[in-house]
Structure 1
Amino acid sequence: MKPLTRLFRLLLITLLTPVLFLLGCQSRLIYYPRGYDENYRQTLTSHRGVAIPYTTGQGAQVAHYIPPKKGGQNPKALWICFAGNGSLGLDWLNYVDQWDPSFAYLMVDYPGYGDCKGIPSPRKIRESSLAAFDALAKHLNQSPEQLRPRLGVVAHSIGCAAGLMAASELNISKIVLISPFTTMTDMGKLLLGWPLCHVNMHRFDNRRELAQVVEQGAKVVIFHGTADEVIPISMSRELAEAHPGRVTLYEKEGWDHNRILHGVSQEIGAAMSSMVKP
Protein backbone atom coordinates (compact mmCIF):
# COMPACT_ATOMS: atom_id res chain seq x y z
CA MET A 1 0.00 0.00 0.00
CA LYS A 2 1.33 3.41 -0.95
CA PRO A 3 2.15 5.75 1.95
CA LEU A 4 -0.31 8.38 0.66
CA THR A 5 -3.14 5.85 0.46
CA ARG A 6 -2.33 4.55 3.94
CA LEU A 7 -2.40 8.10 5.31
CA PHE A 8 -5.72 8.82 3.62
CA ARG A 9 -7.30 5.71 5.12
CA LEU A 10 -5.96 6.55 8.56
CA LEU A 11 -7.40 10.05 8.34
CA LEU A 12 -10.74 8.67 7.16
CA ILE A 13 -10.92 6.22 10.06
CA THR A 14 -9.98 8.98 12.50
CA LEU A 15 -12.75 11.22 11.18
CA LEU A 16 -15.44 8.56 10.90
CA THR A 17 -14.91 6.88 14.28
CA PRO A 18 -16.54 9.62 16.41
CA VAL A 19 -19.30 10.05 13.83
CA LEU A 20 -20.16 6.36 13.87
CA PHE A 21 -19.96 6.32 17.66
CA LEU A 22 -22.45 9.21 17.90
CA LEU A 23 -24.79 7.67 15.37
CA GLY A 24 -24.81 4.44 17.32
CA CYS A 25 -25.26 5.73 20.85
CA GLN A 26 -26.68 9.24 20.76
CA SER A 27 -30.08 8.07 22.03
CA ARG A 28 -28.34 6.84 25.17
CA LEU A 29 -26.67 10.23 25.55
CA ILE A 30 -29.99 12.10 25.33
CA TYR A 31 -32.58 9.88 27.02
CA TYR A 32 -32.43 8.11 30.38
CA PRO A 33 -35.61 6.00 30.52
CA ARG A 34 -36.70 4.13 33.62
CA GLY A 35 -39.84 2.50 34.94
CA TYR A 36 -42.18 3.08 37.85
CA ASP A 37 -41.85 1.44 41.24
CA GLU A 38 -44.54 0.89 43.87
CA ASN A 39 -43.90 4.26 45.56
CA TYR A 40 -44.99 6.08 42.41
CA ARG A 41 -48.16 4.00 42.19
CA GLN A 42 -49.03 4.72 45.81
CA THR A 43 -48.53 8.44 45.27
CA LEU A 44 -50.70 8.27 42.15
CA THR A 45 -53.47 6.60 44.16
CA SER A 46 -53.23 9.22 46.92
CA HIS A 47 -53.89 11.91 44.29
CA ARG A 48 -56.87 9.95 42.88
CA GLY A 49 -54.92 9.59 39.64
CA VAL A 50 -55.76 7.07 36.96
CA ALA A 51 -53.81 5.44 34.16
CA ILE A 52 -54.76 6.41 30.61
CA PRO A 53 -53.73 3.57 28.28
CA TYR A 54 -53.45 4.03 24.53
CA THR A 55 -51.50 2.65 21.60
CA THR A 56 -49.12 4.20 19.07
CA GLY A 57 -46.74 2.84 16.47
CA GLN A 58 -44.38 2.14 19.39
CA GLY A 59 -46.88 -0.18 21.05
CA ALA A 60 -48.70 0.17 24.37
CA GLN A 61 -48.39 3.56 26.07
CA VAL A 62 -49.67 4.87 29.41
CA ALA A 63 -50.19 8.47 30.53
CA HIS A 64 -51.74 9.50 33.85
CA TYR A 65 -54.64 11.81 34.65
CA ILE A 66 -54.84 13.69 37.94
CA PRO A 67 -58.32 15.15 38.50
CA PRO A 68 -58.87 18.48 40.26
CA LYS A 69 -59.09 18.46 44.03
CA LYS A 70 -62.15 20.67 43.81
CA GLY A 71 -64.58 21.62 41.08
CA GLY A 72 -65.79 18.13 40.21
CA GLN A 73 -64.91 16.69 36.84
CA ASN A 74 -64.74 20.04 35.06
CA PRO A 75 -61.31 21.50 35.86
CA LYS A 76 -60.67 25.19 35.47
CA ALA A 77 -57.59 24.26 33.45
CA LEU A 78 -56.04 21.03 32.22
CA TRP A 79 -52.25 21.14 32.18
CA ILE A 80 -50.28 18.67 30.08
CA CYS A 81 -47.02 17.99 31.94
CA PHE A 82 -43.73 17.04 30.26
CA ALA A 83 -40.73 16.02 32.36
CA GLY A 84 -36.98 16.19 31.75
CA ASN A 85 -34.99 13.40 30.14
CA GLY A 86 -34.08 11.74 33.45
CA SER A 87 -37.52 12.10 35.05
CA LEU A 88 -40.94 10.50 34.75
CA GLY A 89 -44.33 12.06 34.18
CA LEU A 90 -45.45 11.28 37.73
CA ASP A 91 -42.53 13.26 39.16
CA TRP A 92 -44.82 16.27 38.67
CA LEU A 93 -46.84 14.94 41.62
CA ASN A 94 -44.11 16.47 43.81
CA TYR A 95 -45.42 19.94 42.91
CA VAL A 96 -49.14 19.86 42.13
CA ASP A 97 -50.17 20.10 45.79
CA GLN A 98 -48.75 23.65 45.78
CA TRP A 99 -50.80 24.67 42.74
CA ASP A 100 -54.43 25.64 42.19
CA PRO A 101 -56.66 22.80 43.44
CA SER A 102 -59.10 23.40 40.57
CA PHE A 103 -56.44 22.37 38.03
CA ALA A 104 -56.25 18.90 36.47
CA TYR A 105 -53.16 17.34 34.90
CA LEU A 106 -52.27 14.94 32.13
CA MET A 107 -48.79 13.59 32.92
CA VAL A 108 -47.18 12.22 29.77
CA ASP A 109 -44.32 9.73 29.59
CA TYR A 110 -42.13 9.36 26.51
CA PRO A 111 -41.80 6.04 24.66
CA GLY A 112 -39.58 3.77 26.74
CA TYR A 113 -40.30 5.68 29.96
CA GLY A 114 -42.61 4.66 32.79
CA ASP A 115 -45.07 2.07 31.53
CA CYS A 116 -44.58 2.98 27.86
CA LYS A 117 -43.09 0.72 25.23
CA GLY A 118 -40.75 1.83 22.48
CA ILE A 119 -37.77 4.10 21.89
CA PRO A 120 -38.00 7.90 22.14
CA SER A 121 -37.39 10.34 19.31
CA PRO A 122 -38.92 13.72 18.44
CA ARG A 123 -41.38 12.18 15.98
CA LYS A 124 -42.41 9.39 18.36
CA ILE A 125 -42.76 11.80 21.30
CA ARG A 126 -44.99 14.08 19.20
CA GLU A 127 -47.13 11.13 18.14
CA SER A 128 -47.42 9.83 21.70
CA SER A 129 -48.34 13.21 23.20
CA LEU A 130 -51.18 13.77 20.74
CA ALA A 131 -52.47 10.24 21.21
CA ALA A 132 -52.39 10.69 25.01
CA PHE A 133 -54.59 13.76 24.70
CA ASP A 134 -57.07 11.95 22.47
CA ALA A 135 -57.16 9.03 24.93
CA LEU A 136 -57.85 11.40 27.82
CA ALA A 137 -60.72 13.05 25.92
CA LYS A 138 -62.30 9.62 25.49
CA HIS A 139 -61.74 8.82 29.17
CA LEU A 140 -63.51 12.05 30.17
CA ASN A 141 -66.29 11.50 27.64
CA GLN A 142 -65.55 14.84 26.04
CA SER A 143 -64.47 15.79 22.57
CA PRO A 144 -60.97 17.18 21.99
CA GLU A 145 -62.64 20.42 20.88
CA GLN A 146 -64.38 20.74 24.26
CA LEU A 147 -61.11 20.29 26.15
CA ARG A 148 -58.79 22.46 24.04
CA PRO A 149 -59.82 25.88 25.46
CA ARG A 150 -58.76 24.70 28.94
CA LEU A 151 -55.42 23.21 27.91
CA GLY A 152 -52.04 24.43 29.11
CA VAL A 153 -48.50 23.08 28.98
CA VAL A 154 -45.99 22.98 31.81
CA ALA A 155 -42.61 21.47 30.95
CA HIS A 156 -39.02 21.13 32.10
CA SER A 157 -35.76 20.73 30.14
CA ILE A 158 -36.19 18.38 27.17
CA GLY A 159 -39.85 18.33 28.10
CA CYS A 160 -40.03 21.91 26.86
CA ALA A 161 -39.41 20.58 23.36
CA ALA A 162 -42.15 17.97 23.78
CA GLY A 163 -44.47 20.56 25.26
CA LEU A 164 -43.95 23.10 22.50
CA MET A 165 -44.59 20.45 19.85
CA ALA A 166 -47.85 19.49 21.55
CA ALA A 167 -48.82 23.15 22.01
CA SER A 168 -48.21 23.83 18.33
CA GLU A 169 -50.31 20.85 17.23
CA LEU A 170 -53.16 21.48 19.69
CA ASN A 171 -53.12 25.29 19.50
CA ILE A 172 -52.47 25.66 23.24
CA SER A 173 -52.18 29.26 24.41
CA LYS A 174 -51.00 28.80 28.02
CA ILE A 175 -47.40 27.63 28.26
CA VAL A 176 -44.93 27.54 31.18
CA LEU A 177 -41.39 26.39 30.40
CA ILE A 178 -38.63 25.68 32.91
CA SER A 179 -35.01 25.59 31.67
CA PRO A 180 -35.58 25.20 27.91
CA PHE A 181 -32.84 24.96 25.28
CA THR A 182 -32.88 26.56 21.83
CA THR A 183 -32.16 23.51 19.66
CA MET A 184 -30.66 20.10 20.24
CA THR A 185 -27.99 20.99 17.68
CA ASP A 186 -27.00 23.99 19.82
CA MET A 187 -26.77 21.68 22.83
CA GLY A 188 -24.58 19.36 20.80
CA LYS A 189 -22.30 22.25 19.93
CA LEU A 190 -21.82 22.97 23.64
CA LEU A 191 -21.00 19.37 24.46
CA LEU A 192 -19.23 18.14 21.32
CA GLY A 193 -18.27 21.21 19.35
CA TRP A 194 -18.49 21.74 15.62
CA PRO A 195 -18.97 19.83 13.32
CA LEU A 196 -19.99 16.84 15.48
CA CYS A 197 -23.00 18.79 16.73
CA HIS A 198 -24.58 18.24 13.33
CA VAL A 199 -24.43 14.45 13.69
CA ASN A 200 -27.81 14.74 15.33
CA MET A 201 -30.82 12.55 14.62
CA HIS A 202 -32.96 14.10 17.38
CA ARG A 203 -33.51 17.57 15.98
CA PHE A 204 -35.66 19.24 18.59
CA ASP A 205 -36.01 22.89 17.59
CA ASN A 206 -37.54 25.13 20.24
CA ARG A 207 -36.85 28.27 18.22
CA ARG A 208 -39.15 27.06 15.47
CA GLU A 209 -41.86 25.63 17.73
CA LEU A 210 -41.89 28.68 19.99
CA ALA A 211 -42.28 30.98 16.99
CA GLN A 212 -45.22 28.84 15.85
CA VAL A 213 -47.10 28.94 19.17
CA VAL A 214 -46.50 32.68 19.54
CA GLU A 215 -47.89 33.20 16.04
CA GLN A 216 -50.95 31.22 17.14
CA GLY A 217 -51.44 33.65 20.04
CA ALA A 218 -49.86 31.81 22.94
CA LYS A 219 -48.61 33.49 26.09
CA VAL A 220 -45.36 31.92 27.30
CA VAL A 221 -43.59 32.21 30.65
CA ILE A 222 -40.05 30.88 31.11
CA PHE A 223 -38.20 30.21 34.35
CA HIS A 224 -34.45 29.56 34.17
CA GLY A 225 -31.81 29.38 36.89
CA THR A 226 -28.70 31.52 36.61
CA ALA A 227 -26.63 28.59 37.93
CA ASP A 228 -27.97 26.07 35.41
CA GLU A 229 -25.05 23.74 34.68
CA VAL A 230 -26.81 21.80 31.91
CA ILE A 231 -28.63 24.35 29.73
CA PRO A 232 -27.16 27.87 29.84
CA ILE A 233 -29.58 30.65 30.69
CA SER A 234 -28.42 32.44 27.54
CA MET A 235 -30.63 30.04 25.58
CA SER A 236 -33.75 31.19 27.43
CA ARG A 237 -32.68 34.79 26.98
CA GLU A 238 -32.45 34.25 23.24
CA LEU A 239 -35.88 32.63 23.11
CA ALA A 240 -37.49 35.44 25.10
CA GLU A 241 -35.76 38.25 23.24
CA ALA A 242 -37.07 36.89 19.95
CA HIS A 243 -40.68 37.46 21.09
CA PRO A 244 -40.94 40.62 23.23
CA GLY A 245 -44.34 41.05 24.80
CA ARG A 246 -45.32 37.43 24.19
CA VAL A 247 -42.62 35.55 26.09
CA THR A 248 -41.66 36.52 29.64
CA LEU A 249 -38.42 35.26 31.18
CA TYR A 250 -37.86 35.06 34.93
CA GLU A 251 -34.19 34.59 35.74
CA LYS A 252 -33.92 32.84 39.10
CA GLU A 253 -30.70 33.70 40.88
CA GLY A 254 -28.59 30.77 42.06
CA TRP A 255 -30.85 27.91 40.98
CA ASP A 256 -29.41 25.04 38.94
CA HIS A 257 -31.01 22.83 36.31
CA ASN A 258 -32.98 20.42 38.50
CA ARG A 259 -33.39 22.09 41.86
CA ILE A 260 -35.16 25.05 40.27
CA LEU A 261 -38.32 22.94 40.16
CA HIS A 262 -38.37 22.69 43.94
CA GLY A 263 -37.04 26.18 44.51
CA VAL A 264 -39.59 28.13 42.49
CA SER A 265 -42.53 25.69 42.42
CA GLN A 266 -44.90 28.21 43.99
CA GLU A 267 -43.89 30.84 41.44
CA ILE A 268 -44.50 28.34 38.65
CA GLY A 269 -47.96 27.69 40.07
CA ALA A 270 -48.64 31.42 40.29
CA ALA A 271 -47.66 31.85 36.64
CA MET A 272 -50.02 29.04 35.68
CA SER A 273 -52.85 30.63 37.64
CA SER A 274 -52.22 34.04 36.04
CA MET A 275 -52.89 32.53 32.61
CA VAL A 276 -56.28 31.09 33.55
CA LYS A 277 -59.39 33.24 33.36
CA PRO A 278 -61.34 33.44 36.64
Structure 2
Amino acid sequence: MTSLRVLRAICLVIVLLTDLSSARRVRNSSRFRLRSPPTATEKNSPRVTMLSLRRFGGWLKEHKSTFLTPLAIGAATATAISVSLYMLQDSLIYLSRRYGSADENAVAAFNGQMEKIGRPPVEPLSFTVPSVGAQRSFWIPPATSVPCASTSSSSSGIGEKETRGRVSVWILQGGNAMVALDWLAFLPYLLQRPSIEVQDEVPKEATGFLLVDYPSYGDCEGTPSPATCGETAETALLTLLEGLKEGNGSLGGVSEVELNFFGHSIGSASVRLDGGS
Protein backbone atom coordinates (compact mmCIF):
# COMPACT_ATOMS: atom_id res chain seq x y z
CA MET A 1 0.00 0.00 0.00
CA THR A 2 2.83 2.36 0.82
CA SER A 3 4.40 1.83 -2.61
CA LEU A 4 1.11 2.56 -4.33
CA ARG A 5 0.65 5.82 -2.42
CA VAL A 6 4.15 6.96 -3.29
CA LEU A 7 3.52 6.21 -6.99
CA ARG A 8 0.29 8.23 -6.93
CA ALA A 9 2.04 11.18 -5.29
CA ILE A 10 4.77 11.16 -7.93
CA CYS A 11 2.19 11.15 -10.75
CA LEU A 12 0.30 14.04 -9.14
CA VAL A 13 3.48 16.12 -8.88
CA ILE A 14 4.28 15.48 -12.56
CA VAL A 15 0.77 16.60 -13.63
CA LEU A 16 1.01 19.77 -11.51
CA LEU A 17 4.40 20.67 -12.96
CA THR A 18 3.09 20.15 -16.50
CA ASP A 19 0.08 22.40 -15.86
CA LEU A 20 2.27 25.14 -14.39
CA SER A 21 4.59 25.04 -17.39
CA SER A 22 1.67 25.31 -19.83
CA ALA A 23 0.15 28.20 -17.91
CA ARG A 24 3.49 30.05 -17.96
CA ARG A 25 3.77 29.68 -21.75
CA VAL A 26 0.24 30.96 -22.26
CA ARG A 27 0.84 33.91 -19.95
CA ASN A 28 4.04 34.87 -21.77
CA SER A 29 2.45 34.57 -25.25
CA SER A 30 1.88 37.96 -27.06
CA ARG A 31 -1.41 36.73 -28.44
CA PHE A 32 -2.95 35.38 -25.23
CA ARG A 33 -1.18 37.56 -22.68
CA LEU A 34 -3.39 38.34 -19.74
CA ARG A 35 -3.69 42.03 -19.11
CA SER A 36 -5.58 44.18 -16.74
CA PRO A 37 -8.53 46.12 -18.18
CA PRO A 38 -7.34 49.29 -20.01
CA THR A 39 -7.95 52.63 -18.37
CA ALA A 40 -9.87 55.48 -20.06
CA THR A 41 -6.59 57.11 -21.07
CA GLU A 42 -5.31 53.90 -22.66
CA LYS A 43 -8.53 53.45 -24.60
CA ASN A 44 -8.11 56.84 -26.30
CA SER A 45 -4.35 56.67 -26.71
CA PRO A 46 -2.74 56.66 -30.22
CA ARG A 47 -0.92 53.44 -29.29
CA VAL A 48 -4.18 51.50 -29.15
CA THR A 49 -5.32 53.08 -32.46
CA MET A 50 -2.05 52.26 -34.22
CA LEU A 51 -2.27 48.68 -32.95
CA SER A 52 -5.75 48.39 -34.44
CA LEU A 53 -4.53 49.81 -37.73
CA ARG A 54 -1.64 47.37 -37.82
CA ARG A 55 -3.97 44.47 -37.23
CA PHE A 56 -6.35 45.72 -39.95
CA GLY A 57 -3.44 46.23 -42.32
CA GLY A 58 -2.24 42.72 -41.64
CA TRP A 59 -5.71 41.39 -42.34
CA LEU A 60 -5.87 43.26 -45.64
CA LYS A 61 -2.44 42.01 -46.62
CA GLU A 62 -3.48 38.46 -45.83
CA HIS A 63 -6.78 38.69 -47.76
CA LYS A 64 -5.84 41.08 -50.58
CA SER A 65 -6.11 38.39 -53.24
CA THR A 66 -9.73 37.68 -52.33
CA PHE A 67 -10.84 41.19 -51.36
CA LEU A 68 -8.79 44.03 -52.80
CA THR A 69 -8.24 42.61 -56.29
CA PRO A 70 -11.96 42.21 -57.18
CA LEU A 71 -12.67 45.62 -55.64
CA ALA A 72 -9.97 47.28 -57.74
CA ILE A 73 -11.18 45.55 -60.91
CA GLY A 74 -14.77 46.64 -60.24
CA ALA A 75 -13.76 50.26 -59.59
CA ALA A 76 -11.62 50.37 -62.75
CA THR A 77 -14.44 48.88 -64.84
CA ALA A 78 -17.01 51.36 -63.50
CA THR A 79 -14.66 54.27 -64.17
CA ALA A 80 -13.95 53.11 -67.73
CA ILE A 81 -17.67 52.71 -68.49
CA SER A 82 -18.48 56.16 -67.07
CA VAL A 83 -15.74 57.86 -69.08
CA SER A 84 -16.75 56.04 -72.28
CA LEU A 85 -20.42 56.98 -71.89
CA TYR A 86 -19.49 60.60 -71.24
CA MET A 87 -17.31 60.81 -74.35
CA LEU A 88 -19.80 58.95 -76.56
CA GLN A 89 -23.00 60.54 -75.28
CA ASP A 90 -23.56 62.62 -78.42
CA SER A 91 -23.11 59.54 -80.62
CA LEU A 92 -25.61 57.64 -78.49
CA ILE A 93 -28.19 60.46 -78.51
CA TYR A 94 -27.96 61.83 -82.06
CA LEU A 95 -28.54 59.18 -84.75
CA SER A 96 -27.95 61.27 -87.87
CA ARG A 97 -28.96 60.23 -91.37
CA ARG A 98 -28.07 61.71 -94.76
CA TYR A 99 -30.56 62.33 -97.55
CA GLY A 100 -30.92 59.87 -100.43
CA SER A 101 -33.10 59.09 -103.41
CA ALA A 102 -36.02 58.04 -101.21
CA ASP A 103 -36.16 61.54 -99.72
CA GLU A 104 -36.10 63.12 -103.19
CA ASN A 105 -39.07 60.96 -104.16
CA ALA A 106 -40.88 62.01 -100.99
CA VAL A 107 -40.40 65.70 -101.88
CA ALA A 108 -41.72 65.12 -105.40
CA ALA A 109 -44.80 63.31 -104.08
CA PHE A 110 -45.42 66.05 -101.49
CA ASN A 111 -45.14 68.80 -104.11
CA GLY A 112 -47.75 66.97 -106.18
CA GLN A 113 -50.14 66.96 -103.22
CA MET A 114 -49.50 70.66 -102.57
CA GLU A 115 -50.25 71.51 -106.19
CA LYS A 116 -53.66 69.84 -105.91
CA ILE A 117 -54.65 72.08 -103.00
CA GLY A 118 -53.15 75.24 -104.48
CA ARG A 119 -50.02 75.56 -102.35
CA PRO A 120 -46.43 76.31 -103.44
CA PRO A 121 -43.79 73.52 -103.47
CA VAL A 122 -41.08 72.91 -100.89
CA GLU A 123 -38.27 75.51 -100.95
CA PRO A 124 -34.74 74.71 -99.67
CA LEU A 125 -33.43 77.29 -97.21
CA SER A 126 -29.62 77.38 -97.20
CA PHE A 127 -27.57 79.36 -94.68
CA THR A 128 -24.32 79.16 -92.74
CA VAL A 129 -23.71 79.05 -89.01
CA PRO A 130 -20.11 80.24 -88.46
CA SER A 131 -19.40 77.89 -85.55
CA VAL A 132 -21.06 74.87 -87.21
CA GLY A 133 -20.84 75.11 -91.02
CA ALA A 134 -23.20 75.07 -94.00
CA GLN A 135 -26.79 74.19 -93.11
CA ARG A 136 -29.93 73.46 -95.09
CA SER A 137 -33.51 73.56 -93.86
CA PHE A 138 -36.79 73.48 -95.79
CA TRP A 139 -39.56 76.06 -96.05
CA ILE A 140 -43.12 75.16 -97.02
CA PRO A 141 -44.69 78.53 -97.93
CA PRO A 142 -48.34 79.35 -97.27
CA ALA A 143 -50.74 79.66 -100.18
CA THR A 144 -51.50 83.27 -99.33
CA SER A 145 -51.24 85.82 -96.56
CA VAL A 146 -53.83 87.61 -94.48
CA PRO A 147 -53.91 91.36 -95.18
CA CYS A 148 -53.10 93.62 -92.28
CA ALA A 149 -52.90 97.40 -92.26
CA SER A 150 -49.76 99.22 -91.18
CA THR A 151 -49.01 102.93 -91.34
CA SER A 152 -46.12 104.25 -93.42
CA SER A 153 -45.03 107.79 -94.24
CA SER A 154 -45.10 109.08 -97.81
CA SER A 155 -42.75 111.66 -99.28
CA SER A 156 -45.31 114.35 -98.50
CA GLY A 157 -45.20 113.41 -94.83
CA ILE A 158 -48.85 112.38 -94.76
CA GLY A 159 -49.53 109.00 -93.22
CA GLU A 160 -51.17 106.51 -95.53
CA LYS A 161 -52.29 102.91 -95.24
CA GLU A 162 -50.09 100.23 -96.81
CA THR A 163 -51.49 96.71 -97.10
CA ARG A 164 -48.94 94.07 -96.18
CA GLY A 165 -49.19 90.39 -95.34
CA ARG A 166 -49.65 88.51 -92.11
CA VAL A 167 -48.69 84.82 -91.91
CA SER A 168 -48.27 82.08 -89.33
CA VAL A 169 -45.02 80.09 -89.22
CA TRP A 170 -44.60 76.72 -87.54
CA ILE A 171 -41.02 75.67 -86.69
CA LEU A 172 -40.87 71.86 -86.63
CA GLN A 173 -37.99 69.90 -85.07
CA GLY A 174 -37.91 66.11 -85.02
CA GLY A 175 -36.52 63.35 -82.86
CA ASN A 176 -32.98 62.05 -82.63
CA ALA A 177 -33.42 59.67 -85.61
CA MET A 178 -35.52 62.01 -87.78
CA VAL A 179 -34.56 64.29 -90.64
CA ALA A 180 -36.56 67.37 -91.55
CA LEU A 181 -38.17 65.82 -94.63
CA ASP A 182 -39.72 63.09 -92.48
CA TRP A 183 -42.35 65.69 -91.56
CA LEU A 184 -43.67 65.60 -95.13
CA ALA A 185 -45.62 62.43 -94.34
CA PHE A 186 -47.49 64.27 -91.57
CA LEU A 187 -48.19 67.68 -93.09
CA PRO A 188 -50.77 66.74 -95.80
CA TYR A 189 -53.16 65.48 -93.11
CA LEU A 190 -52.67 68.66 -91.13
CA LEU A 191 -53.19 70.93 -94.14
CA GLN A 192 -56.29 69.15 -95.40
CA ARG A 193 -58.14 68.85 -92.09
CA PRO A 194 -61.21 71.07 -91.58
CA SER A 195 -60.48 74.47 -90.10
CA ILE A 196 -62.00 75.64 -86.83
CA GLU A 197 -62.84 79.32 -87.01
CA VAL A 198 -61.26 81.17 -84.10
CA GLN A 199 -61.16 84.93 -83.81
CA ASP A 200 -57.79 86.46 -84.81
CA GLU A 201 -56.42 83.04 -85.81
CA VAL A 202 -54.41 82.89 -89.01
CA PRO A 203 -56.10 80.40 -91.38
CA LYS A 204 -54.19 77.36 -92.57
CA GLU A 205 -53.95 78.83 -96.09
CA ALA A 206 -51.73 81.53 -94.58
CA THR A 207 -49.68 79.08 -92.52
CA GLY A 208 -46.17 77.99 -93.50
CA PHE A 209 -43.82 75.40 -92.05
CA LEU A 210 -40.08 75.62 -91.42
CA LEU A 211 -38.52 72.15 -91.25
CA VAL A 212 -35.18 72.32 -89.44
CA ASP A 213 -32.42 69.71 -89.68
CA TYR A 214 -29.81 69.28 -86.95
CA PRO A 215 -26.08 69.55 -87.76
CA SER A 216 -24.82 66.41 -89.58
CA TYR A 217 -28.42 65.47 -90.47
CA GLY A 218 -29.70 65.54 -94.05
CA ASP A 219 -27.51 67.94 -96.03
CA CYS A 220 -26.07 69.76 -93.01
CA GLU A 221 -22.49 69.98 -91.82
CA GLY A 222 -21.17 70.06 -88.26
CA THR A 223 -21.62 68.05 -85.09
CA PRO A 224 -24.94 67.91 -83.23
CA SER A 225 -25.21 69.04 -79.63
CA PRO A 226 -27.80 71.01 -77.65
CA ALA A 227 -25.87 74.22 -78.33
CA THR A 228 -25.31 73.70 -82.08
CA CYS A 229 -28.87 72.46 -82.64
CA GLY A 230 -30.30 75.53 -80.95
CA GLU A 231 -28.00 77.87 -82.84
CA THR A 232 -28.88 76.23 -86.16
CA ALA A 233 -32.63 76.50 -85.55
CA GLU A 234 -32.33 80.13 -84.49
CA THR A 235 -30.28 81.04 -87.57
CA ALA A 236 -32.73 79.21 -89.85
CA LEU A 237 -35.64 81.18 -88.39
CA LEU A 238 -33.83 84.53 -88.65
CA THR A 239 -32.92 83.78 -92.27
CA LEU A 240 -36.54 82.97 -93.07
CA LEU A 241 -37.91 86.06 -91.32
CA GLU A 242 -35.47 88.29 -93.17
CA GLY A 243 -36.62 86.82 -96.48
CA LEU A 244 -40.29 87.31 -95.58
CA LYS A 245 -39.65 90.90 -94.56
CA GLU A 246 -37.84 91.67 -97.81
CA GLY A 247 -40.62 90.11 -99.85
CA ASN A 248 -38.63 87.23 -101.29
CA GLY A 249 -40.93 84.69 -102.93
CA SER A 250 -44.54 84.89 -104.03
CA LEU A 251 -45.96 86.41 -100.83
CA GLY A 252 -44.54 89.89 -101.13
CA GLY A 253 -43.55 91.80 -98.01
CA VAL A 254 -44.78 90.38 -94.70
CA SER A 255 -45.10 92.72 -91.74
CA GLU A 256 -46.53 90.36 -89.13
CA VAL A 257 -45.47 86.79 -88.37
CA GLU A 258 -47.10 84.55 -85.80
CA LEU A 259 -44.51 82.07 -84.53
CA ASN A 260 -45.36 78.56 -83.33
CA PHE A 261 -42.96 75.82 -82.21
CA PHE A 262 -43.51 72.08 -82.34
CA GLY A 263 -40.97 69.42 -81.34
CA HIS A 264 -40.89 65.65 -81.14
CA SER A 265 -38.63 63.74 -78.71
CA ILE A 266 -35.36 65.67 -78.37
CA GLY A 267 -36.91 68.29 -80.63
CA SER A 268 -39.08 69.27 -77.67
CA ALA A 269 -35.99 70.29 -75.68
CA SER A 270 -34.58 72.15 -78.66
CA VAL A 271 -37.91 73.93 -79.15
CA ARG A 272 -37.80 75.15 -75.54
CA LEU A 273 -34.38 76.69 -76.16
CA ASP A 274 -35.42 78.20 -79.49
CA GLY A 275 -38.68 79.58 -78.13
CA GLY A 276 -36.89 81.11 -75.17
CA SER A 277 -34.31 82.82 -77.34
User: Structure 2 length normalisation: TM-score?
Assistant: 0.54
- Write the letter of the residue equivalent to 1:106: L
- Write the letter of the residue equivalent to 1:116: C
**Cα distance in structure 2, aligned partners of 1:75 and 1:87:** 30
- Write the letter of the residue equivalent to 2:84: F
Which of 139, 143, 155 aligns to 1:69? It is 143
SS in 2 for 1:151: strand
Structure 2, unpaired ranges of 5+: 1-60, 115-120, 147-163, 192-203, 248-253
Partner of 1:117: 221
Partner of 2:181: 90
Deviation, structure 1 residue 39: 3.5
- Write the letter of the residue equivalent to 1:54: F
Partner of 1:172: none
- Write the letter of the residue equivalent to 1:102: A
SS in 2 for 1:51: strand
SS in 1 for 2:88: helix
- Write the letter of the residue equivalent to 1:60: A
Partner of 2:122: 49
| RMSD between superposed Cα atoms in Å | 2.8
* Aligned 8 A contact 1:77 1:103 in 2: yes
Which of 19, 22, 32 aligns to 2:82? It is 19
**Cα distance in structure 1, aligned partners of 2:69 and 2:264:** 49
**Cα distance in structure 2, aligned partners of 1:84 and 1:148:** 29
**Cα distance in structure 2, aligned partners of 1:20 and 1:11:** 14
Partner of 2:50: none
**Cα distance in structure 2, aligned partners of 1:11 and 1:42:** 52
User: Structure 1 length normalisation: TM-score?
Assistant: 0.53
Which of 80, 94, 106 aligns to 2:171? It is 80
Of 15-24 and 150-159, more deviation after overlay is shown by 15-24
Higher-Rg structure is 2
Sequence identity percentage: 28
Answer yes or no: is 1:140 the counterpart of 2:203.
no
Distance 1:8 1:95, change over 3 A: closer
- Write the letter of the residue equivalent to 1:59: G
Structure 1, unpaired ranges of 5+: 170-278
Which of 139, 143, 150 aligns to 2:258? It is 150
* Aligned 8 A contact 2:99 2:219 in 1: yes
Q: C-alpha offsets along residues 180-201 of structure 1, whole Å, 9 cap, x if unaligned?
A: xxxxxxxxxxxxxxxxxxxxxx
* Aligned 8 A contact 2:166 2:256 in 1: no
Distance 1:95 1:86, change over 3 A: same
Q: RCO greater where, 1 or 2, for CA within 8 Å and sep 6 or more?
A: 2
Distance 1:162 1:147, change over 3 A: farther
- Write the letter of the residue equivalent to 2:81: P
Deviation, structure 1 residue 64: 0.8
**Cα distance in structure 1, aligned partners of 2:91 and 2:122:** 30
**Cα distance in structure 1, aligned partners of 2:172 and 2:221:** 19
* Aligned 8 A contact 1:36 1:114 in 2: yes
Deviation, structure 1 residue 148: 7.2
**Cα distance in structure 1, aligned partners of 2:265 and 2:255:** 26
Partner of 1:58: 132
Q: C-alpha offsets along residues 94-134 of structure 1, whole Å, 9 cap, x if unaligned?
A: 12222333310111000111111111111111111111111
Deviation, structure 1 residue 14: 2.2
* Aligned 8 A contact 1:137 1:147 in 2: no
SS in 2 for 1:85: coil
SS in 1 for 2:205: coil
Report runs of 4+ in structure 1 exceeding 4 Å deviation.
4-8, 72-75, 146-149
* Aligned 8 A contact 1:111 1:119 in 2: yes
